[in-house]
């Protein structure tokens, strides 16, 4: 019998062929190959469950947009509630693996389960911080770019500092294990 692992994916791994979604699919295939049953939890425009070759995708509807790590503070409760419904009354210990800016959601999920007497181990895989990514985008915008585009990126940076940083910090400092996924560059 496959051992379940709760994957806090945040974004739907079935939608895009690049970036974190592609990484989550590869992660899921690897987990399946060594006897795990990954359950990817993500926000979406709908609520449903889909079985894939890289695990089971649990989508939960969030009214907030965009569906990006930028809005993790707004989406968190929907993901935590979705995991809570999945676990139901099972008292078996859980492995919770979260990724990037969604790492604080993994910690929040673990807290919710602990209140119900369910133990869990939290892992966080980090690439860098969401703020670092936003600063890189800003540096890449030259003065020839439209003013509205530059203002949008500045607004996103402000929002990241106000909301995403806190969530990432909680995930990076309160997960039992933090795995760094970085290049040698």
Tens digits of residue pLDDT in 85-114: 999 867 788 899 999 899 999 999 999 999
What confidence tens digit (pLDDT) does each residue in 13-31 have?
888 766 888 889 999 999 9
Residue 165 in any domain: the answer is no
- Residue 59: per-residue pLDDT: 96
Residue 98: give its domain's CATH number.
3.40.50.2000
Phi, psi of 36 (to 5 degrees): -100, 160
SS3 of the chain: helix, strand, coil, percent, to 5: 50, 25, 25
Residue 74 in any domain: the answer is yes
Query: Are the C-beta atoms of residues 96 and 106 closer than 8 Å to each other?
Result: yes
Query: Which domain does 40 fall in, by range?
Result: 3-128+170-180
Residue 72 in any domain: the answer is yes
Query: What mean pLDDT do residues 63-79 have?
Result: 92
Query: What mean pLDDT do residues 55-59 have?
Result: 96
- Residue 51: per-residue pLDDT: 96
Q: Work out how many domains the chain is built from and give that number.
A: 1
Q: Which residues have a Cβ under 8 Å from the Cβ of 81 and sit 6 or more positions away? A: 60
Query: What mean pLDDT do residues 55-63 have?
Result: 95
pTM assigned to the model: 0.89
Residue 147 in any domain: the answer is no
Q: What percent of the chain has pLDDT over 90?
A: 71
Residue 151 in any domain: the answer is no
- Residue 132: per-residue pLDDT: 93
């Amino acid at each position: 019998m496959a051992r379940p692992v709760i994957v806090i994916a945040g974004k739907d791994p079935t939608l895009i062929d690049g970036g974190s979604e592609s990484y989550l699919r590869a992660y899921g295939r690897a987990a399946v190959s060594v006897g795990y049953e990954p359950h990817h939890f993500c926000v979406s425009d709908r609520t449903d469950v889909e079985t894939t070759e890289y695990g089971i995708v649990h989508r939960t509807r969030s009214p907030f947009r965009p569906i990006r790590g930028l809005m993790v503070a707004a989406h968190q409760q929907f993901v935590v509630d979705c995991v809570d419904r999945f676990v139901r009354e099972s008292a078996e210990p859980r492995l919770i693996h979260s990724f990037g800016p969604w790492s604080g959601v993994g910690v929040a999920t673990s807290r919710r389960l602990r209140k119900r007497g369910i133990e869990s181990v939290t892992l966080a895989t980090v690439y860098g911080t969401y703020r670092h990514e936003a600063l890189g985008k800003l540096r890449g915008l030259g003065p020839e770019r439209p003013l509205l585009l530059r203002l949008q990126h500045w607004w996103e940076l402000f929002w990241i500092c106000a909301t995403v940083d806190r969530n990432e910090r909680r995930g990076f400092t309160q997960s039992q294990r933090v795995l760094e996924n970085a290049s040698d560059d």
